[in-house]
């Protein structure tokens, strides 16, 4: 894992060589309709962490005498390019580590799996844009193709195979469809986006997923020149629904959930660079069957425009 992180950091550093003001200001959950000018390259590294220790059946929290735990660390290397001003294409290469803990016969046991996730190729097209004296409104749609690259042979601490949605990837072809809207003013921005994703294939497929995000961001410090520091704080809501995974014998009973949450993101820009850090705080979770769920999710992103 250390070698992977060093490799990702070196790759990112090599492409951070030219100077152009950073203009992407979106939270870490959801999508922005922002597209970049012709010829712009936009590399990014994102990290995510969640610790699952809430044992839920439906919306009811259960006792967890066996100390079931699951930790997940995700990293994504993304590279976006603008062949035209209104069209951006992107590749996202994920890598995940999943660690499960259990107490079997009174003895603590741990298992760990890691590997490449399902690579996503996508395109974002801005199809509407309007300007006013001090505002801008724009909309975009996204389409994506998921490649069957994901590692999907990880096991629980008790030796059982992890469900497809808990693996680093499903190893299935898949797709994504999305819509994004933003209303920007000099002092603040409103973002709204929706995304639907699914695997193609039978046994071993993750359940379909739908996400809906709405955020409001306020500039505490506006960058008036490229070399200035800009700071924006965004907060909003996140809704997530996931269907049941598909196994050889049919739908997996202890998979699929719905989640309503609050999210907050701190975004800082300076010159070509942008740094983002965010947290997702669940307000309500409902599971199919019995599942481990997190009580908080954290993400960090570092990106640059070339």
Kindly indicate the confidence band of residue 19, based on its pLDDT and cuts at 50, 70 and 90: very low
Kindly indicate the confidence band of residue 1, based on its pLDDT and cuts at 50, 70 and 90: low
pLDDT number for residue 62: 95
pLDDT number for residue 136: 94
Going by C-alpha positions, the residue among 218, 142, 208 that lies closest to residue 180 is 142
125 CB-contact burial (10 Å; exposed 0-12 / middle 13-18 / buried 19+): middle
Kindly indicate the confidence band of residue 26, based on its pLDDT and cuts at 50, 70 and 90: confident
Q: Which of 20-24, 63-67, 148-152, 218-222 has the lowest mean pLDDT?
A: 20-24
Q: What is the pLDDT of residues 34-72, one digit of tens each?
A: 988 888 898 999 999 999 999 999 999 999 888 899 999
Select 2-304's CATH number: 2.40.160.40, 3.40.50.1820, 2.40.128.20, 2.40.128.50. 2.40.160.40
Kindly indicate the confidence band of residue 11, based on its pLDDT and cuts at 50, 70 and 90: very low
Which has more confidence, 195 or 13? 195
3-state secondary structure 196-207: EEEEECCCCECC
Residue 159 CA to residue 105 CA, distance in Å, equals 14
| Cβ within 8 Å of residue 258, ≥6 positions away | 239, 240, 241, 242, 285, 286
Rounded to an integer, the average pLDDT of 134-162 is: 94
Percent of the chain residues topping a pLDDT of 90 = 75
Q: Which residue, chain included where needed, has tokens 């709405």?
A: 214
Kindly indicate the confidence band of residue 105, based on its pLDDT and cuts at 50, 70 and 90: confident
* pLDDT at 33 exceeding the cut of 60: yes
Average pLDDT, whole number, for the chain? Answer: 90
* pLDDT at 123 exceeding the cut of 50: yes
* pLDDT at 12 exceeding the cut of 50: no
44 CB-contact burial (10 Å; exposed 0-12 / middle 13-18 / buried 19+): buried
| Cβ within 8 Å of residue 215, ≥6 positions away | 27, 30, 190, 191, 192, 234, 235, 236, 237, 263, 265
pLDDT number for residue 25: 63
């Amino acid at each position: 894992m250390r070698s992977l992180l060093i490799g990702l950091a070196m790759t990112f550093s090599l492409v951070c060589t030219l100077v152009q003001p950073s203009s992407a200001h979106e939270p870490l959950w959801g999508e922005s309709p922002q597209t970049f000018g012709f010829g712009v390259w936009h590399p990014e590294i994102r990290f995510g962490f969640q610790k699952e220790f809430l044992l839920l059946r439906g919306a009811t929290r259960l006792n967890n005498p066996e100390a079931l735990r699951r930790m997940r660390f995700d990293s994504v290397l993304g590279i976006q390019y603008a062949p035209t001003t209104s069209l951006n294409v992107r590749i996202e290469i994920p890598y995940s580590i999943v660690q499960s803990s259990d107490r079997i016969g009174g003895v603590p046991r741990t298992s760990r799996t890691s590997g490449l996730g399902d690579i996503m190729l996508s395109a974002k097209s801005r199809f509407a844009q309007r300007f006013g004296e001090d505002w801008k409104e724009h909309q975009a749609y996204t389409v994506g193709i998921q490649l069957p690259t994901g590692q999907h042979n990880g096991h629980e601490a008790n030796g059982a195979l992890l469900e497809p949605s808990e693996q680093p990837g499903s190893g299935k072809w898949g797709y994504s469809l999305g819509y994004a809207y933003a209303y920007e003013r000099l002092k603040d921005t409103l973002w709204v986006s929706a995304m639907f994703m699914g695997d193609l294939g039978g046994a071993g497929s993750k359940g379909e997923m739908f996400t809906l995000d709405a955020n409001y961001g306020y500039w505490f410090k506006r960058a008036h020149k490229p070399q200035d520091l800009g700071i924006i704080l965004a907060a909003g809501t996140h809704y997530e629904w996931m269907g049941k995974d598909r196994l050889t014998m049919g739908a997996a009973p202890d998979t699929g959930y719905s989640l309503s949450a609050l999210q907050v993101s701190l975004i800082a820009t300076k010159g070509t660079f942008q740094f983002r850090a965010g947290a997702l705080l669940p307000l309500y979770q409902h599971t199919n069957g019995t599942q481990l769920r997190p009580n908080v999710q954290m993400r960090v992103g570092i990106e640059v425009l070339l």
